[in-house]
Structures are given as C-alpha cells and as structure tokens.
Amino acid sequence: MDFELGEEQRDFFSAVVEFASREIDPGLEDREKAGGFSRELWEKCAEFGIQGLPFPVEHGGQGADVLTTALAMEGLGLACRDNGLLFSLNAHMWSAAMPVSRFGDESQKQRYLRGLCDGSLIGVQGMTEPGSGSDAFALETTAELRGDGYILNGSKTFITNAPVADVFVVFATLDRSKGWAGLSAFIVEKGYPGLTVGKPVEKMGLKTSPMGDLFFDDCEVPAENLLGRAGSGMVIFQHSIDWERSLILANSVGAVQRQLNAAVEYGKEREQFGQSIGSFQAVSHRLADVHVRLEAARLLLYRLAWKWDNGKVTPADTSLVKLFLSENLVESTLSAMKTFGGSGYLVETGIERDLRDALASRIYSGTSDIQRSVIARDLGL
Ligand SMILES: Cc1cc2nc3c(=O)[nH]c(=O)nc-3n(C[C@H](O)[C@H](O)[C@H](O)COP(=O)(O)OP(=O)(O)OC[C@H]3O[C@@H](n4cnc5c(N)ncnc54)[C@H](O)[C@@H]3O)c2cc1C
C-alpha cells in the first residue's frame, strides 16, 4: 500500500491552492451579502479546468483520475472560503455532467458535455419533489411519449443552480405502475416550452449557490434528449448519486484543514489567565481531536478515490464517506467556534458562515439518516 502522492499530484494541488486564493476567494463577503452567484468566477474555474477535471479529453475534459480530482477539490476547500461556489461546482459536475458523460450518446456529449466542461453551460439535476425527498424514487413527475418528443408534467424542488442553470438532468416516470423501473432521465434545456424556473429561494447558508424550483407544464423535450434508455432512470440516478456522495465533500477536507490551521494559530496567540489558551488541555485536546478526525476523513476520501480509479466502489462506500465527511465538517466547525470564543460568533471571523454552510451537508445528497440506512443494509441489517 503506497500512501505517497506523486510529484505531479502535489504540484497540481499547490497550483489549485494558489489559483483559489488568488482568483476565487477574494470578495466573498460582498458576494455573500448580495446573495449572488458569480458567473465570472464560474468561468475562471472553467478556464483553470475545474469543471472538466474527471471527464474525457475528447469531450472537453481534463481526463484527470479520481484521486487527482479529489485533491483539486480539497485544494479549493483549503484556499477558498466560498463554500457556495464550491457547492454549485460539485452539483454541476456530479449530478449533471457525470450522467451525461456516462450515459449520453455521442451527439448529447457534443451538445452538452463539452459546454458543461468549458464553463459555457451550467447544469444540475432535478430529482427531489415536494412529495419525494429521501424516498426519491416515489417521484410523481410524468413523461409521456407524444409524437417525436416527450411531454413532462410535474415539479421539482430544492434544485441547486436552478436560477442560473442552462441544462437540467430531470427524472420522470413513464409508467408509475412500474415503480423505479418506470423512471427515465431527460436532458432539459432552460428555454424549452413548458418549463418554468421558480424564483431563487432564500436559505440559511451556501448563499452564493442559488436554488430554485422547476415546474413542468406540458414541457416539450425532444426524443433525442432521453438520457440512456427508457426505464434506466434508476441506474442513472444511482450512478450519479454515488459520484456525488463520494466527492461533494472533498472540499470539506480542505475547509477543515483551513479551520484547524487558524484555530492552532489562535490557540498560540490568544492569552487568558496569563498563558496561551492552547496551553489549556481543554483547548489543545479539542484541536487534537479535530486533527485526528481530519486525517481519518482524508484517508477515507483518498481510499474511495482509489476505489473509483480501480473499479471497486459500492454504494455503501460512498455513503460511508459522505456521512463521515459531512458530520466531521459540522463537528470541526463547532470546534473552531469554541476555540475562538466570542470572536468565533462574530460574522467577521467567518466561522458562523462555515457553520451555516456546513449544516446543509447533513441533508443534501441524502440525509445522514439515509446514509446510515445504506451502510446498515450493507451490514445485512
Ligand atoms: C442545500 C441543498 C441542496 C439541494 N440540491 C438538490 C438538487 O440540486 N437536486 C435535487 O434533486 N435535490 C436537491 N436537494 C434536496 C435533497 O436531496 C433533499 O432535501 C434530501 O434528500 C432530503 O429530502 P427532504 O428534504 O424531502 O426530507 P425528508 O425526506 O422529508 O426527510 C425529513 C427527515 O426524515 C428523515 N427520514 C426520511 N426518511 C427516512 C428513513 N427511511 N429513515 C430514517 N430517516 C428518514 C430524514 O433523514 C430527515 O431527517 C438539496 C437539498 C439541500 C438542503
């Protein structure tokens, strides 16, 4: 077993960190106050090659292996405090570009994957509905083959990027009596007749990542925009959710490292009772615990990336990583807040933003309860 990163991977990680701190971190406070998504930063990320990282070179991607991709996302989390922007990037890459890359035909890849890699298109997935969240396959949006296209009716909710997205991978049922076997996936463009994108919804955190609902009212989707085969929706969803659960929190490993670095510095500098607070065991042990959990999170992430690169991933592997990284992110952010005392509660320190952003990670891509259920099922329970 070799735990050493290659020189090229280390150099790339440094380049990502340098890019993120110079290009996409500055100005976060203003963007957050305005509640704004920045297309300019999106394009900068694409120019650097982020959106295309794991996708084939022939379709505009970088052809990076999964470990290198995970390292890049970690580097972004370390040097960029804009968790909303990173969340939007992740949603785009794993829930839209990945299914098009894996299940799209050549013409779909030329039309969509290229643009999803080069930053000219923003994508996301529409799965969740008002009546089906954790029970995702109970969705009610229908698709009907009519003439030379499909007609979609229904609605989707909590859709990341929706207000700014150009392309949606939407799941709908062709036959409700068949349950999950009746599900199909469609590539829907924002201008299609019958599609309405709701107003941006206000949420607790991830303020620079817009979210909205989708409404399909006899929405006309050309037949060639069926993704994969009719009835293969469940397989497509499982594939993309496995990718999403694996990598959507890779940036959290960098973010927790960033928080730990700052907390250690503060622990050395801040004095109470005539000594640095880091010399109190209550403080130093708390940070030691953060360090231990961070190392575990990093190893789990890298091992999962290795599994992807070697074709050994199971859904339980991805749930395990998603569960541990999200819970670790929340715990570590709380630890950072405790270490900083009253200053940690101030907006200017940025920890409260990290906390608001972190809490969402226990919900999106399947709640922590659902991840535990997947892991328990794998144990035979
Ligand atoms: C920031 C954010 C971004 C999102 N982006 C997208 C997106 O881009 N596209 C998209 O399609 N969706 C998106 N979602 C939706 C997300 O996938 C759902 O919110 C999530 O799956 C939970 O569904 P729900 O909100 O309906 O909660 P519910 O399913 O109603 O769950 C409510 C509570 O019940 C618990 N529960 C439910 N069923 C079980 C069970 N079987 N066992 C144990 N506990 C259970 C849950 O754990 C939770 O605590 C996003 C959500 C958030 C918060």
Using CA atoms of 203, 206, 208, 210 in order, give the dihedral in degrees to the nearest 10.
-50
pLDDT at residue 123 greater than cutoff 90: yes
Q: What per-residue confidence (pLDDT) applies to 35?
A: 80
Phi, psi for 147 (deg, rounded to 5)? 65, -130
What is the rounded average pLDDT of the residues 89-104? 98
pLDDT category at 378 given cuts 50, 70, 90 is very high
* Predicted confidence (pLDDT) at residue 380 exceeds the cutoff of 90: yes
Specify the fold of 124-232: Butyryl-CoA Dehydrogenase, subunit A; domain 2 (2.40.110)
How far CA 277 is from CA of 259, 268, 338, in Å, comes to 16, 7, 12
CATH of 7-122, one of 3.30.56.10, 3.30.460.80, 3.10.105.10, 1.10.540.10: 1.10.540.10
pLDDT at 377 over 90: yes
Mean pLDDT of 132-141: 97
Residue percentage of the chain with pLDDT more than 90: 98
Q: What is the per-residue pLDDT across 239-292, written as a single tens digit (0 to 9) for each? A: 999 999 999 999 999 999 999 999 999 999 999 999 999 999 999 999 999 999
The string of pLDDT tens digits covering residues 169-226 is 999 999 999 999 999 999 999 999 999 999 999 999 999 999 999 999 999 999 999 9
Two structure tokens written together for 175: 């036959």
Of the candidates 32, 74, 129, 244, the residue annotated as catalytic is: 244
Number of Cβ within 10 Å of residue 313's Cβ equals: 19
CB within 6 Å of ligand 1 — which residues?
Answer: 91, 124-128, 133-134, 158-160, 206, 360, 363-364, 366-367, 369-370, 373
Instruction: Give me the torsion for CA of 167, 180, 156, 240, rounded to 10°.
Output: -40
1 confidence band (pLDDT: 50, 70, 90): confident
How high does pLDDT run on average in the chain? 97
155: helix, strand or coil: strand
Residue pointed to by tokens 């069926």: 226
Beta bridge partners of 188: 168
CATH number attached to the domain at 249-378: 1.20.140.10
If one residue of 158, 207, 213, 373 were mutated to test the ligand 1 pocket, choosing by the most ligand atoms within 8 A of its CB, it would be: 158
pLDDT, residue 166, reads 98
Instruction: Assess whether 244 carries a catalytic annotation.
Output: yes
What are 271's strand-pairing partners? 276
**164: pLDDT strictly greater than 90:** yes
d(CA 28, CA 373): 37
At 37 the pLDDT is 96
* Partner residues linked to 197 by β-bridges: 214
Task: State pLDDT tens for residues 23-64.
Answer: 999 999 999 998 889 999 999 999 999 999 999 999 999 999
* Cα–ligand 1 centroid distance for 364 (angstroms): 6
pLDDT of residue 306: 97
Structure tokens at 256: 């927790």
Residue 126: other Cβ atoms inside 10 A: 31
Q: Which two tokens stand for residue 35?
A: 């509640």
Contacts of 27 (CB under 8 A, 6+ apart): none
Task: Map out the domains of the chain as residue ranges.
Answer: 7-122, 124-232, 249-378
- Residue 2 pLDDT class (50, 70, 90 cuts): confident
State the Cα torsion 72-77-81-86 to the nearest 10°: 70
Question: Average pLDDT, stretch 117-143?
Answer: 97
- 72 by Cβ neighbours in 10 Å (0-12 / 13-18 / 19+) ranks as buried
Q: What is the dihedral of CA 32, 36, 42, 45, to 10 degrees?
A: -10
Q: What percent of the chain has pLDDT over 70?
A: 100
User: What is the rounded distance in angstroms from the CA atom of residue 286 to the CA atom of residue 336?
Assistant: 9
**Which residue's CA is the closest to the ligand 1 atom numbered 26?**
133
Instruction: Tell me the three state secondary structure of residue 271.
Output: strand
Q: What is the pLDDT of residues 144-160, one digit of tens each?
A: 999 999 999 999 999 99
pLDDT single digits (tens) 307-339: 999 999 999 999 999 999 999 999 999 999 999
Residue among 89, 134, 356 whose CB has most ligand 1 atoms within 8 A, to mutate: 134
Task: Specify the pLDDT at position 284.
Answer: 98
Which three-class secondary structure state does DSSP give residue 307?
Answer: helix
Output the CA torsion sign for 37, 41, 43, 49.
negative
What are the phi and psi torsion angles at 318 (to 5°)?
Answer: -75, -35
Q: Give the containing element (helix H, strand E) for 220.
A: strand 211-222
